[in-house]
Amino acid sequence: MNDALSIAGAPEADRSPRDAEGLQAKKVNPLRSGQKARIVVVGGGFAGVAAVRALRGSDAEILLIDRRNHHIFQPLLYQVATAVLSPAEISAPIRQLEVKQQNLSVLLAEVAGVNVDDRMLEAVLPEGGIRKIAFDYLVVATGMLPSYFGHDEFARYAPALKTLSDAENIRAKILGAFERATTVVDEGERARLMTFVLIGAGPTGVELAASLAHLVKITLVGNFRHIDPSRSAIILLDASKRILPTFAEELSQRVAKRLTKLGVTVLTGVKVEAVDEQGVVAGGKRIPTATALWTAGVAASPLPKMLGGETDRAGRMIVDPFLAVADLPGVFVVGDAASVIQGEHPVPGVAQAAIQQGRYVGQLIAKELRGQETTRPFRYVDKGNMAVVGKNYAVLERGRLRTSGFLTWLVWAFVHILALPQLQNRLRVQRQWLWSYFTGERGSRVIPESPRIK
C-alpha cells in the first residue's frame, strides 16, 4: 500500500446489474448446509477490517485470518522507522474487533492454499499445524509485498518498509550507524556510515527521507561528542524523471525543492544496478553507504494467484466491476491485492481506496445474505492524495486543487490523527507529535539488544 494517505468518501457508483447466475447454487458449501453462511476474510489490513465491519449486522459466521495479530496504520510506518513513534502507537490488536462484533472470530494463521471448487482453504497455524476451513464467501485482502524487480539479492542489504518488524529493523540500522561511526578512526569509513541512500522516490521514500533529515539535523545534534550527525548525507534515488510521479509535476517540483532545503540530495533518472555490503551502484557510479533502504516497488502476495484467475504483471487479481473474481461466485479480492480499472485508469493503491473496496464488498455480501440484489458496481471516489515532507510542510492534490505548505500540513496531521485505529492511538500520537514539534526530541530511539549466546 502506498504510504501517502488519500482522502476519500464513501463509494458512489453508476447502476448496472450484478450477474449472480449460479451464485445460489455454489454459494453454500454442501458440507455446511443448514448452517449459517461462513464468510472468510483473509488479511487484517485496511480492506479486510473494512469488510469485516461492514458485515457487523449480518446473520453469518465471519472468520478473519491474518498471520499477524495486529493491524498497522501504514501511512505512519516511516515515523516508527525514524524514531518519531513507537510501534504500539500506530498499531492495534486485530482480536479487539471480536469484542465489538459478536459474529466475528479471529484466527492467527497464514493461508497456504485454496481449493475454490470445494470451497476450502488451508491455513498454517503458528505452531505449524494445518487447519482446513470451509467457506461460503471468501474475501482476499492480503495486500502487497516488497518487489525488488527481479533483484531479490538486494533485499539482504536494502530492507523494505512494510511491517512493524521492518520499521524496527530500519530504526536500529539508522541509529546503529551513528553508534558505529563514533568508534571508527578512518574518515572514509565514517563518511560511509553516515551516508543514507533511499531507493525509490514515491511517497514512502519522500516521507522517510524528510523525516530522516529532521532526525540527523535536529534530534541527534549534541548527542555525540566525536561526530556531528548533521553532516550526514541523505540521498534519494529514483529511476523516474521526477519524484512523486503519481502527483502533478508542479507538486513534484515543490517537494524536490523542499527536500533540497532539508539537506536531501535528490537524484532522478538514475537506475540502481547493484546493492551490496559496501554501498549502492547507481547510474554507473558507486555510492559508499552502510544504510541502503528500499522504498521502491511492490508486488501482490501469492494468494491471489492461488485462486486461478487472471492476474496483472504485479500479481494482482483482475476483478470485475463488483470486485468479484470471474467464474468464482462468492470470491472477492479487494485492496492492494486487486487490480481495479475505473474508466481508463487503475484505482490507486492507497489506504482509502482499500477501505472503500472492503466496505463495498462487505455491504454487497450482506445484501446477498438478505436475498437482495446488488445493482451498483464499485466506484472509487478520489477526494485527494497527500504526502508530508517534514515539519510544517505537506502537499495535497485533489482534482485541479494543488496546495502545499503549513496549512496543508495541518490538514494532513488532522486527517491522520482521525484515521488511526483506536482512541488510545490518537491520544498517544497527538501527544508525541506535540512533544516532538516543540522540543525536536523523538521518543523511540531504542536499538534492541541482540540475544546473548550462552
Catalytically annotated residues: 207
Residues 339 and 319 sit within 8 Å (Cβ to Cβ): yes
d(CA 368, CA 187): 68
Supply the angle between the helices 406-419 and 423-439 in degrees, to the nearest 10.
150
Taking CA atoms, 77 is separated from 3, 84, 353, 428, in Å, by 8, 10, 18, 15
- The distance from CA 88 to its chain's CA centroid, rounded to whole angstroms, is 16
For residue 223, the Cα-to-chain-centroid distance in whole angstroms is: 32
Q: At what angle do helices 46-54 and 351-369 cross, to 10 degrees?
A: 30
Residue 62, C-alpha cell as written in the block: 465471519
Per DSSP (E only), the strands in 248-353 are 264-268, 272-276, 279-282, 285-288, 291-294, 298-300, 317-318, 331-333, 338-339, 341-342, 345-346
C-alpha cell read off for 450: 541482540
Distance of CA 210 to the CA centre of its chain: 18
Read off the C-alpha cell for 75: 501511512
Distance (Å, rounded) from C-alpha 18 to C-alpha 342?
16
Pairing of strands 279-282, 130-134: unpaired
The pair phi, psi for residue 398, each rounded to 5°, is -140, 100
Go through the chain and tell me how many residues it has.
454
- Kindly provide the residue ranges of all beta strands, DSSP E only, lying in 61-103, ordered along the sequence: 61-66, 70-72, 91-93
Task: Count CB neighbours of 187 within 10 A.
Answer: 8
Helix axes 203-214, 249-262, angle to 10 degrees: 20
Q: Tell me which H or E stretch contains 358.
A: helix 351-369
Strand 401-405 vs strand 61-66: parallel, antiparallel, or unpaired? unpaired
